[in-house]
Amino acid sequence: MLRIAILDDYQDVALTLADWALLGDDCEIVRFGRNLASEDEAAGALAGFDVLCLMRERMPLSAALIERLPALRLIVVTGARVRTIDMEAAVARGITVCHTHAGESAHATPEIAWGLILSLARSIPEEHARIRAGGWQHTVGTVLGGKTLGLVGLGKLGGRMVPIAKAFGMEVIAWSQNLTDARAAEAGARRVDKETLFREADVVSLHLILGERSRHTVSAAELGQMKQGAWLINTARGPLVDEAALVEGLRQGRIKAGLDVFDIEPLPADHPLRTMPNTVLTPHLGYVTEGAYAAFYRDTVDNIRAWRDGAPVRVLAAPKTEERT
């Protein structure tokens, strides 16, 4: 019997969005609807499973945790980019790691960024809650037309922000460490230096890949350069921003923030960001769409079938004896 664990299925949709019966009657499939927050909890719950199906980076697999999972032989992670699995430890244990296609993230993540921007502009969550409670309008909104959008990162996702900003009548400026004038112009933006971007932008939106070079790209210094009342939007990765400095900036009331990602996810119940009135918070919804999930889970089933047949596909890491296709 092959034991398969589907992790972090928060919405209880994994078993309905793919045909898991294709794996055969000799598989036991168990879904986990909650996050296994600690190594001890994860080791206790997952020790008997042969296959772990991960949803993006929700469940880190460190070398220490992998060592405590003696039955584990295959890891399938949704999306092609993952930094939370110790690949060397997995290979050393004879474990294969496969990925799925990226799904709809190229469209979905910029769309949630604009959802956060519009929510801040017109206080939509606050007014929704007020009308549900029997009240009526209380806030005064602002328009985006004539404002400046500053994009930190102008790659695939950042580039999709530009035409939408132009449709709203916004000017677009951009910065990243490797951005050139030619690439910025091609995308419809104007390249500026980092200080200029944070000083001039009314809305700063982050679209960088997280790595050691990009960690804390937004520190207390950058937050201090932002205009009074400017907005910071983060739909990329939490650690791109110095979270303690952000909390302090929000406490001072200088800026607002629309955040879909955090240093620790799920966000702890007692985290100060949960009580900040000048924020709009969403629980890492950027890639969470029905189309993306259906593609993720279909590929997951396909990956398990191919691995069982001895010809794994979309391989990120594998023992040398494992054939890659």
Q: How far is the C-alpha of 153 from the C-alpha of 147, rounded, in Å?
A: 19
Catalytic residue among 191, 237, 243, 314, which? 237
Check: CB of residue 320 under 8 Å from CB of residue 142: no
Catalytic residue among 265, 298, 305, 308, which? 265
Catalytic residue among 58, 99, 191, 284, which? 284
Give Cα separations from 26 to 121, 298, 313 (angstroms). 53, 19, 21
Sheet order of strands, 231-234 included = 190-191, 171-175, 148-152, 203-206, 231-234, 256-259, 279-281
Q: How far is the C-alpha of 250 from the C-alpha of 252, rounded, in Å?
A: 5
Nearest-Å Rg of the Cα atoms of the chain is 22
Q: Give catalytic status of residue 322 as yes or no.
A: no
Q: Give catalytic status of residue 199 as yes or no.
A: no
172 three-class SS: strand
Q: Give catalytic status of residue 265 as yes or no.
A: yes
| Residue of 252, 189, 253, 255 lying closest to 222 (CA atoms) | 255
Neighbours of 296 (CB within 10 A): 26
Residues annotated as catalytic (active site), given as ranges: 237, 265, 284
